[in-house]
Homo-oligomer: A and B are copies of this chain.
Amino acid sequence: MSGTNHRIDGKRLWDSLMAMAEIGATPKGGVKRLTLTEVDQRGRQRFAAWCEALGLTMRVDAIGNMFARREGRDPTRLPVLLGSHLDSQPSGGKFDGALGVIAGLEVMRSLNDLGITTEAPIELVNWTDEEGSRFGHSLMGSGAWAGIYPLDKVYGLRDVDGVTVEDALNAIGYKGEAPAAPFPADAYFELHIEQGPILEREARQIGIVTGAQAQVWYDAVVTGQDAHAGTTPPSARRDALVCAARIIDLVDRMMRARGEDGRGTVGQLHVLPNSRNVVPGEVRFSVEFRHPDTAEIDRLAAQFPREAGFIARDCGTPLQLTELFRLPAQPFDPGCVDLVRQAAARLGLPAREIVSGAGHDAVYVARSVPTAMIFTPCKDGLSHNEAESIEPGEAEAGCQVLFEAVLARANRAL
């Protein structure tokens, strides 16, 4: 089996991660590299320069996705893709996204150092705007590439200052020539931090990601009646916040009824008029459920609106519930997942199968390309946070698994 005795360079990987983290560095040790800003441009340019130094050929598509190609021995083979994203949340960390791109770069560097020519070509990808923080649309680059989001609609999205995606692409010189459309590829591998606590808690170095959870998201509005808190007796109250509170409790109970695989969250909530001595007349909040099993999400999507409606009726405060979207579970490719499993086993790294709870570019890429992901632990499960932290040894282990999986795929017998 190829790759077994080849090692990536953990120190070089870490140094490049830190060098990328300088671009948009925040005082609290995090990163603010919002998509398609001048800061993102500098990140892209540093990445491009690193790729060029390796002799890779850079191609940019119409939504700014960057593909750095290393040719293989067999010109008829489809490329093996690997990568992630370089944009960050407004108060993001050093590793969310950057790890997958910079580890991909380290894979390319190691292939060069080791003088390896793979059978298939390999392309390292930096997807545009995974985070969605600026234009309100996460997985934008991979979604446009996969044909899920029509390009002209994406071009017209605006940030808070009214700048469109198309203008922003042009402003930083990253509206490329290549079409933003799926091209035939043999596989896609993405290394990412878990953004959750499971691997750390179980002391596993590697998460073998078998797929992504099914999800259903809602917007909820409870309408009560503003009333004076001192003068309005219990029988006359229609308190929107009391109703919302009981629905929040319901979401938590419905999650826990599904055991450790359940996810149910009210993350955002606004109270109106939000004044100490006024019974709240309106509460707006988000609800989301996730589960590895699409059927379970379908059951939740049937039960939750009914149960929440009962609560609202009891409270005398009408509930308007809007289902924003429902995504089925996205299983990853068994063959690609198995390459990750084999690499971890061969390296003797403690590993476990895991289902991705977060959205990743890989979820959209998986619709047209055989895909797998590799997770590494992150400290306290923290992400989307300047305190996001991983150990150099964890980055190295994840990158080594990525290297071996990519190499095995690129050299596989057809």
Interfacial residues, chain A to chain B (CB-CB below 8 A): 194-198, 201, 213, 215, 217, 225-236, 239, 241-242, 244-246, 248-249, 252, 255-256, 259-263, 265-271, 274-280, 286, 288, 290, 356-359, 380-385
A234 to B230 alpha-carbon distance, docked (Å) = 38
A359 to B230 alpha-carbon distance, docked (Å) = 8
A151 to B356 alpha-carbon distance, docked (Å) = 61
Q: How far is the CB of A2 from chain B (nearest CB, A)?
A: 33
Q: How far is the CB of A252 from chain B (nearest CB, A)?
A: 5
Q: A269-B269, A381-B227 are in contact. Are A233 and B198 (CB under 8 A)?
A: yes
When the two chains form the complex, which single residue of B227, B230, B267, B271 contacts A279, counting CB atoms closer than 8 Å?
A: B267
Give the chain B neighbours of A256 by CB distance below 8 A.
234
| Contact B217–A276 (Cβ < 8 Å) | yes
Closest to A235 in B: B260
| Contact A269–B274 (Cβ < 8 Å) | yes
A275 to B384 alpha-carbon distance, docked (Å) = 11
Give the chain B neighbours of A194 by CB distance below 8 A.
231
Q: Which 7 A-B pairs have the closest CB atoms?
A: A196-B231, A230-B357, A231-B357, A229-B265, A245-B245, A245-B248, A276-B286
Q: A246-B245, A357-B228, A383-B228 are in contact. Are A267 and B263 (CB under 8 A)?
A: no
A252 to B246 alpha-carbon distance, docked (Å) = 11
When the two chains form the complex, which single residue of B249, B262, B288 contacts A245, counting CB atoms closer than 8 Å?
A: B249
A402 to B288 alpha-carbon distance, docked (Å) = 56
| Contact B269–A230 (Cβ < 8 Å) | no
| Contact A290–B236 (Cβ < 8 Å) | no
Q: How far is the CB of A283 from chain B (nearest CB, A)?
A: 9
| Contact A276–B269 (Cβ < 8 Å) | no
| Contact B267–A275 (Cβ < 8 Å) | yes
Q: How far is the CB of A222 from chain B (nearest CB, A)?
A: 12
